[in-house]
Structure 1
Amino acid sequence: METKKDWASRLSPGVNAIAPSGIRKFFDIAAQMDDVISLGVGEPDFVTPWPIRESCVYGLEQGYTSYTANRGLPELRQEICNHYQKNYDVTYDAATDVLVTVGVSEALDIAMRAILAPGDEVLIPEPCYVSYQACTTLAGGVPVAVPAKIENEFRITPAELEEHVTERTKVLLIGYPNNPTGAIMTRKDLLAIADFAEKHDLIVISDEIYGDLTYGDEEHVCFSSLPGMQERTILLNGFSKAYAMTGWRIGYALANPTLTAAMTKIHQYTMLCAPITAQIAAVEALRHGEKYMKKMVAEYDRRRRLIYDGLTKMGLECFEPKGAFYIFPNISSTGYTSNEFAEELLKAEHVALVPGSAFGACGEGHVRCSYATSIDKISEALNRIENFLKNHKK
């Protein structure tokens, strides 16, 4: 009988070095249960607005089913440039500075692969999106976590970054508004970060997928709009969150021509191009989708206030989120780890959320709740969480 081979030993060291996503575990379990309210997956509960869907239907009727240019449809690249000129007064060249990708996830992956050499270090403020460290590792880089503190509203400071910078540091990766905390960075905050990046001659990757989802008086600040930052910034964005287009898988990267060309090399050999139907829909979103987006943002704001008030009244310490559609309550007073809290809550009350440890070690003691679901479901989830807190202490 043939001896069973150890196939795991033949896998890439980079793949072996990363853990499966900490988000999906609980939703695989929840999918097998009845009466579960999910406050977990970061996906809008809205359907893509009809005019955007209709543009895709029309494109199919007209036979638009071919490849596009590797960099994306010229009209989409131009609309992206128009958007940044109009909203942030940043000028990009549609021919050389824009790459349309299969979601922002691909944009992040190829940005890392385009600029990292083995051993290059990437500063990553935590808590952070689960892909940041994994993409760094898979590209041969070394992720360096920089803890952000709840007492500073999870904003990162130059002083905190200075504690972790070394001669191998090449990249600063930031994501604001933040997933999972809902934190934002003000213009003053970002100007200080820009000075730090310039001082250490770093490339900045700025993930701004939640840029349109901000609340209150503070407006989103595009990092590349700051003085001297456009040349050294790879700006990532897309359509999933603001236009409820997660399944369309359409994103983009903006950078200087050298960086964009390097990313395009990888893109053309691995993806070739983003789907033409999604690109057609993205053009419509930029041209006529703003009013629908603003309605969705207003509804997220209503839900944000409901869940923040509900969790704080239960006695859970919460930073009031200012962007995205997440809240990150501190559950350490219960005596549970974040993983235990999520497991026990799911079993006892059928509410699914994500343990904070999925977003980096400094997320421990917190859980992420998404309020991208209906008011009724949020209200019922809050009732169930309150019941759990009354009846379960470790």
Structure 2
Amino acid sequence: MQILSTALSRIKPSQTNFASDRARRLKAEGRDIVSVTSGEPDFDTPDNIRASANAAIGRGLTKYSPVAGIPELRQAIVRKFKRDNGLDYDTSQIIVSTGGKQVIANAMLATVDPGDEVIVPAPYWVSYPELVLLCGGAPVAVTTDAMDGYKLRPEALEAAITPRTKWLILNSPSNPSGAAYSRDDLKALAEVLKRHPRVWILTDDIYEHLVYGDFDFATLAQVEPELYERTLTVNGVSKAYAMTGWRIGYAGGPPRLIKAMETIQSQLTSGACSVSQWAAVEALDGPQDFLADRRKAFERRRDLVVSMLNQAPGIQCQTPAGAFYVYPSCAKVLGKQTPDGRLIASDEDFVLALLESEGVALVHGSAFGCGPNFRLSYAASTDVLGEACRRIQRFCASLRQA
């Protein structure tokens, strides 16, 4: 008897989670593994945030929470959007979910019908197309170019829009490429979107505070107020505040859409963890000065990784503007062989052979819809990153033409 749904047949497991789990299994088996797969800061959650969680427990704030989030957190999110992004929301326009991924899933489940198209610039975070497919929609991957910094061009967006387009998902800074859209970039995309009023926009700003140099972060509804009424601005506390395991994401958007997402969430999970929500209040309302120090640390790690990878034969690595990933090309090593005769025919072959030979765990670029590349997360210590890069250099130097 068939018990599995057809929806399950449309999606596949997360490749980033799979790569991280594989690295953990190999470590547990005693292998010498250096894993740079995970998009998780190695810093601890700040003390004041942890203290706020402990205080919430001490006050007995451990009961079920409202589906859309405790009022105190929704108010803190309203203040955050105004302070950081110049966006005015009411608490009725805010939803809190169990991580940013649930926010996005809620939005897709609430709006996407079979056959609806959702434009997703590639390389993309692996869950975007899968969540669209889960709803019966059609993800439309628009491949970007390294020469454009892996950013979606206005003409490419225009060409991708059809009568069935429901959403554009825009992630800046990007996972996996680290690409970040400037105000001018966003204005150019906004001009296209203004010509297509039926297209909604989901902006995933989860890496907002992780931009480097003199880059000035902006989000689409801020740059073009005309798009405010059809933009869902998604964010969370996981990356900047090192709160991945606390599982708090949030969004601001039109009240009708937020209410629909709340209805979906009421049947899936109900409200997010109450203690985590109180911690998130402190994260958003508390001291923000530590963010600058962590940005500097990530920027130093980025520069180290880019320099060392560009010294690996056949690897070309751009310097990303944000997030904590690099997305190097390994095109020049394709067609080569390992010393034991293993052919490197794809970026997945490269990643698997590197893991077998040198014990470095990466995620292959084709998992993100654009290759031949690989993603390396520099959300790890300098020692770990240096060791990973030295092993990659050694592996690449060992390859020979087939």
Asked if 1:384 is matched to 2:391, the reply is yes
Structure 2 partner of 1:74 = 71
Kept in 2: contact 1:243–1:289 (CA 8 A) = no
Give a deviation string over 1:1-43, Cα, whole Å, max 9, x none.
xxxx5x4xx4222210112222233333322232211111111
DSSP-derived class of the 1:358 partner? helix
Q: Which residue of 2 aligns with 1:331?
A: 330
Structure 1 distance, partners of 2:118, 2:247, is 26
Kindly indicate whether residue 57 of structure 2 is the aligned counterpart of residue 60 of structure 1: yes
Could you tell me how far apart the structure 1 residues matched to 2:164 and 2:397 are? 49
User: Could you tell me whether the CA contact under 8 Å between 1:213 and 1:242 is conserved in 2?
Assistant: yes
Matching of residues 258-337 of structure 1 within 5 Å: 258-315=256-313, 316-335=315-334, 336=344, 337=346
Q: Is the 8 A contact 1:303 1:371 kept in 2?
A: yes
Post-superposition CA distance 1:334-368 (Å, at most 9, x none):
113111111111111111110001111xx221000
The Cα of 1:216 is off from its aligned counterpart by: 1.3
* Residue ranges of structure 2 left out of the alignment (5+ in a row): 335-343
CA distance, structure 2, for counterparts of residue 160 and residue 87 of structure 1 = 30
Equivalent position to 1:21, from 7, 14, 29? 14
Q: Is 2:50 aligned against 1:50?
A: no
Corresponding residue number in structure 2 for 1:184: 180
* Aligned pairs for 1:1-394 within 5 A: 5=1, 7=2, 10-31=3-24, 32-33=26-27, 34-94=31-91, 96-201=92-197, 202-227=199-224, 228-315=226-313, 316-335=315-334, 336=344, 337-360=346-369, 363-393=370-400
Deviation at 1:289, TM superposition (A): 4.1
Instruction: State the shift of 1:73 in Å.
Output: 1.2
Report the CA distance between 1:386 and its aligned residue.
0.6
Amino acid across the alignment from 1:317: Q
C-alpha deviation, 1:320, in angstroms: 0.9
2:311·2:393 contact (CA, 8 Å) conserved in 1? no
Deviation at 1:218, TM superposition (A): 1.4
Match of 1:229, SS?
A: helix
Letter aligned with residue 154 of structure 1: Y
State the one-letter code of the partner of 1:28.
D
Could you tell me how far apart the structure 2 residues matched to 1:239 and 1:48 are? 10
CA contact (8 A) 2:298 2:379 kept: yes
Separation (CA, whole Å) in 2 of partners of 1:28 and 1:262? 34
| Aligned mates of 1:288, 1:114 — CA distance in 2 | 33
Amino acid at match of 1:381: A
Question: What is the distance in 2 between the residues matched to 1:309 and 1:219?
Answer: 24
What is the rounded CA distance, in whole Å, between the counterparts of 1:25 and 1:83 in structure 2?
34
Report the alpha carbon displacement of residue 226 of structure 1 after superposing the two structures with TM. 2.1
Counterpart amino acid of residue 118 in structure 2: V
User: Could you tell me how far 1:222 is from its partner in structure 2?
Assistant: 1.6
- State the SS of the aligned residue for 1:209: coil
Q: CA offsets, 1:195-242, max 9 Å, x none?
A: 212211210011110111100111111221122121110111100000
> Distance between the aligned counterparts of 1:117 and 1:198, measured in 2?
23
- Comparing 216-225 with 232-241, greater Cα deviation is found at 216-225
Please give the alpha-carbon distance, in whole angstroms, between the structure 2 residues aligned to 1:275 and 1:29.
Answer: 29
SS in 2 for 1:42: coil
Aligned length in residues: 384
SS in 1 for 2:15: coil
Native 8 Å contact 1:342 1:367 kept in 2: yes
Q: How does the TM-score come out when normalised to structure 2?
A: 0.93
1:81 deviates by: 1.0
Tell me the C-alpha RMSD between the 2 structures.
Answer: 1.2
Structure 2 counterpart SS, 1:55:
helix
Matched letter for residue 287 of structure 1:
D
- Where 2:257 maps in the other structure, the secondary structure is helix
Q: Which amino acid aligns with 1:340?
A: D
In 1, the alpha carbon distance for the partners of 2:287 and 2:296 equals 15
Give structure 1 stretches of 5+ with no counterpart.
none
Would you say the 8 A contact 1:37–1:350 is kept in 2? yes
